[in-house]
Structure 1
Amino acid sequence: MNTKDRIIEAADELFYSGSIRETSVDRIAERAGVTKKTLYYHFRSKDDLVAAYLEARDRPTRERYLAWAGTSGPMADRVVRMFTALSEHARREDWRGCGFLRAAVELADSQGHPALEVARRHKAGFEAWLAEELEQDGYGSAHELARLLMILLDGAIARMLVNRDPAYAMEAGQAARSLLLSRNDSMSAMYTD
């Protein structure tokens, strides 16, 4: 692993397990086994490092959710699998929620922060993935449904963080399934009338 990747990995561990603002550059450098000067050689600022940390989480996070949802069966079943796996994942002692949501909340008063743009892109990309999958499954209002699924997903994560209760993901999954089945029923009714 190269030096830059070691720094990002150290930042990931510290930012995710704690707080972005409370985690010092000194602590990240120490965890990565580099000097502060070396850290700043690779990242102009802590803000750039926070953005790089989130950027590094983007693809693995999407791949994890894709694996949870799977590629077989109707979307109503796939979203239930995704929420069920999220519920199981949230039972882990080291689960701290969505790193993108946590960063966006923590940095909400720092408009223009590069990490906010990374978080926005991640969430937009995730929503676009859902819309594409819904479209392929025959839903006419795929973009609207994808937005509603994102609200259920992010809402479940927020409620699990507040209440430390993974049941919120299971309940959100059932709500998502009901939503998709009701839209599927109304599509079927339109085609049979």
Structure 2
Amino acid sequence: MPSPAKPARERIIDAANRLFYREGIRAVSVDAVAEKAGVTKKTLYYHFKSKDDLITAYLTARDQPNLAQFEAWFDAAEGNVADKVEAIFIALAKSSRHPKWRGCGFLRTAAELANMPGHPAMTVGAAHKKKFEAWLTERLVEAHVPQPEATARQIVLLLDGAFSIMLVHRDPAYVEEAGRAARALLSGAQSGHSPTIS
């Protein structure tokens, strides 16, 4: 027997995910999302009271899958914590070579909503970034890295900096270089010396 169709709300979020990620939130209309989801505009508004509500749901749906992907890359890598953190950057550089890759959906949405700091999607994006930072801090604590909170924040800066520069240059070499910087940072922290990034 064929599998039952997804519920309308799920189809709408799937459609928003594809369209918003590919084209940006301002460029995509509610009508386009409804058409992509195979529902009427009335049905869309039954599930989401506004486009802002739909944007927030789009980012919320990306939260756990993205965090799980970072965790999977970390866990699959061999070696010490520096190797595993660098592996996240290496995997990200590989992903960025795919023609459908458009960067970090959270940062791109934040850029489009930069003049709306109180937007609920900004809250979702900030929470997502904090969750990743907290997860990374836990891994550094487990590895007995000194000052794990500060070091995790520095790695987050490298990662989001790499995401941002990729929107400008579309060159995965920047992500790989950021990974080497993260590795040097961790190696230096664990050895008690200031890192030398080369």
Give me the TM-score of the superposition, normalised by structure 1.
0.94
Task: Give yes or no for contact 2:146–2:190 (8 Å, CA) kept in 1.
Answer: no
Q: Distance in 1 between matches of 2:129 and 2:72?
A: 17
Q: Identify which of 176, 180, 187 aligns with 1:181.
A: 187
Give the equivalent residue in structure 2 for 1:59. 64
Query: Are residues 1:45 and 2:37 paired?
Result: no
From 114, 118, 122, give the equivalent of 1:112. Answer: 118
1:7 alignment counterpart: 12
Instruction: For 2:51 and 2:173, locate their aligned partners in 1 and report how far apart those are by CA, in whole Å.
Output: 36
Paired positions, count: 187
Q: Decide which of 29, 38, 41 is 1:33's aligned counterpart.
A: 38
Stretches of 4+ moved more than 4 A in 1? none
Find the residue that maps to 1:21 and give its secondary structure.
coil
Mapping 1:14-163, distance limit 5 Å = 14-70=19-75, 73-163=79-169
Tell me the CA shift for residue 73 of structure 1.
Answer: 3.3
**Conserved 8 A contact 2:162-2:178:** yes
Aligned mates of 1:19, 1:169 — CA distance in 2: 22
* SS of match in other structure, 1:12: helix
SS at match of 1:70: helix
Letter of the 2:101 counterpart: W
Q: 1:190 maps to which residue?
A: none
The letter for the 1-side match of 2:118 is G
The one-letter code sitting in structure 2 at the alignment partner of 1:89 is S
Instruction: Find the partner of 2:172 among 155, 162, 166.
Output: 166
Uncovered stretches (5+) of structure 1, i.e. residues with no partner: 188-193
% identity of equivalent residues: 52
Secondary structure class of the residue paired with 2:192 = helix
Take 2:176 and 2:146, find their aligned partners in 1: how far apart are those partners?
26
